[in-house]
Amino acid sequence: MRVGIIFAGLIILGLLVHTDYGISWDEPQSRLTGLVNAKHLSQTLFPFSSTAHLNVSDLQSFRDKDYGVAFELPVVTLEQVLGLQDSRQIYEFRHLMTFLFFLLGAYALVNLIERRWQSWQWGLVGAGLLILSPRFFAEAFYNSKDIVFMSAFVIALATMAAFLQTPTRKSLLLHAFATAFAMNIRIMAVVILATTAAALLVQIVRGGTPLRKAAAYGAGYALLSYGFFVLLFPYIWDKPISGFFEVFSNMSSFRWPYAVLYAGEFVDARDLPWHYAFTWIGITTPTLYLGLFAIGLIQLARNDRQLLDFILLGILMATFGAVIYFQSVLYDGWRHLYFLYPIMIYFCVAALRLLAPFSWAVIAVHSVFIAIWMWQAHPLQNVYFNALAGNEPRYRWEMDYWGLANHDALMHIAEADDRPQISVHAASNTPLLITKRMLPPQQRGRFLFQKSPEPNPDYVLSNYRGVDKGHLDRFSEDYVLFHEIEVGGHIILTLLKRTPTPPNGLDQKTP
């Protein structure tokens, strides 16, 4: 009951703030993936429905046809059912749906921790650490890839723990569906399938489960997981075997041939140093959590108490080992490894239990501090860095790589400049055209976005992504500082305004 009341409060919080966030790089493409699959599904099953005639690509010719749609398809279906037409309404609705699924993942984390230590209170502490992680809270509204996968992954972990503890047909069915759902979002969740099989073998060796029963459950789980996976993936319906391997192959060698800013240098995402992910985790996770994670990791690794501890430790080690060994393509921080964060929090809770009762006071003070920071940074908590990031992080690390601050910048221009037509040039790599979809309808037509700085636009915007340190110097003669957006004392976006042309060609700067 108490857990339910707290999560009801979190749902209310989501309802209150989900309209505050801008639109990110990936959202239109993620929505398009859902629409293309909805069209394909309707053409196959309901050819006379309006969805079957959506003005989008056919699935077979769609570039991202090998992306899973277990989350995107229901969301765009609800969008169509509700008759949402305006782009701002559509993306605000998506933000709410993404946040609600994030909360479902947080609830699964409560369940996982409660099952381990028989305490819903410690489960709530774990969920609190997740929610009071600034980047995760913000991205929980618009990152329908990494955050949704993280949530699906921890749900699958929770159902795995339930199944291993009490192997029944019901727990098997639920775990198989959760596994398939997570695999659909990201194929790397196949590790859940392998881990569950390995855990069943361990239980056989330990004598906890009879061989025949474990074999039957293992075979049933594998078959059901694969069946649900195919069912949730329209693209592979006509090739359930080869389609699986095609998806696995495509995702294991991801197509992103660009450079990322790392420690002040631009590095090819296909040739990252082995410590890239570890560094990003280190500079974007609250330092208290990092310390607790280290303590919990050591504590549980040294004590053979629960199979679940070693399952989660194994997933951590195997994933980091694979990323290093295969030189996985990563970019935009460690977002592709977000699914490991609930496991890290699990070890944080282990440390807090070890340090209790002293830990209660520490976590309470720290939670207040983090909550105040998040409130002050709202809605740009996604640009959280701890002290380990150093000074002037905008020149060392990718900052607002989602382009969320663009919305606030354009609205600042719209409120300060009453001209009917305003030209803006982005001097960095940021999605102004996408941002336009989130502006109020009456403001969208006022903005003209120039790809080139010639002719001189009214405003120049930079969020410092993909550019050198002095990239704004070229505008110093004709532009003045108009507005800056700061998060945590760090500048993440700069707006320059063109100075008016003086009458008779006189230089206004000359006294």
pLDDT digits (tens, 9 = 90+) for 93-136: 999 999 999 999 999 999 999 999 999 999 999 999 999 999 99
pLDDT at 44: 87
405 burial class (0-12, 13-18, 19+ CB within 10 angstroms)?
buried
Unique residue bearing structure tokens 């073998």: 201
Contact present, 442 and 86 (Cβ < 8 Å): no
pTM value > 0.85:
yes
Partners of residue 119 on adjacent β-strands: none
Mean pLDDT of 30-34: 96
What pLDDT does residue 248 have?
Answer: 85
Task: Tell me the pairing of strands 447-450 and 422-426.
Answer: parallel
Categorize the per-residue pLDDT at 510 as very low, low, confident or very high, splitting at 50, 70 and 90: very low
pLDDT digits (tens, 9 = 90+) for 436-458: 999 999 999 999 999 999 899 99
pLDDT tens digit sequence for 196-240: 999 999 888 877 778 888 899 999 999 999 999 999 999 999 999
Instruction: State the chain's mean pLDDT as an integer.
Output: 92
Burial of 381 (0-12, 13-18, 19+ CB in 10 A): buried
pLDDT of residue 507: 47
Model confidence pLDDT, tens digit, residues 153-164: 999 999 999 999
Range of lowest pLDDT (97-111, 136-150, 467-481): 467-481
The confidence score (pLDDT) of residue 150 equals 98
pLDDT for res 88: 97
Asked if pLDDT for residue 509 goes beyond 50, the answer is no
Rounded to the nearest 5°, which phi and psi values hold at 69?
A: -130, 25
Is 295's pLDDT higher than 90?
yes
pLDDT at position 16, please?
Answer: 98
Tell me what pLDDT residue 5 has. Answer: 94
CA-closest candidate to residue 267, choices 403, 275, 491, 253 = 275
Tokens at 143, concatenated: 């990152």
Q: Can you give the pLDDT at residue 247? A: 87
Round to whole Å and give the CA distance between 80 and 83: 5
What does the pLDDT average to over 362-391?
95
Residue 508: predicted pLDDT: 44
Cα dihedral sign, 344-325-197-72: positive
Beta bridge partners of 261: 266
Q: Do residues 134 and 382 touch, judged by C-beta distance below 8 A? A: yes
Is the pLDDT at 256 greater than 90? The verdict is: no
The DSSP element (H or E) to which 287 belongs, if any, is helix 287-301
Lowest-pLDDT range of 80-94, 243-257, 484-498: 243-257
Helix (H) or strand (E) holding 461: strand 459-462
173-194 per-position pLDDT tens digit: 999 999 999 999 999 999 999 9
Mean pLDDT confidence for 280-288: 97
How large is the average pLDDT for residues 366-379?
97
Please tell me the predicted confidence (pLDDT) of residue 213.
Answer: 86
Q: Tens digit of pLDDT for each residue in 302-345?
A: 765 688 998 999 999 999 999 998 888 889 999 999 999 999 99
SS3 call for 394:
helix
For residue 51, what pLDDT band results from cuts at 50, 70 and 90?
Answer: confident
Q: With H, G, I as helix, E, B as strand and everything else as coil, classify residue 141.
A: coil
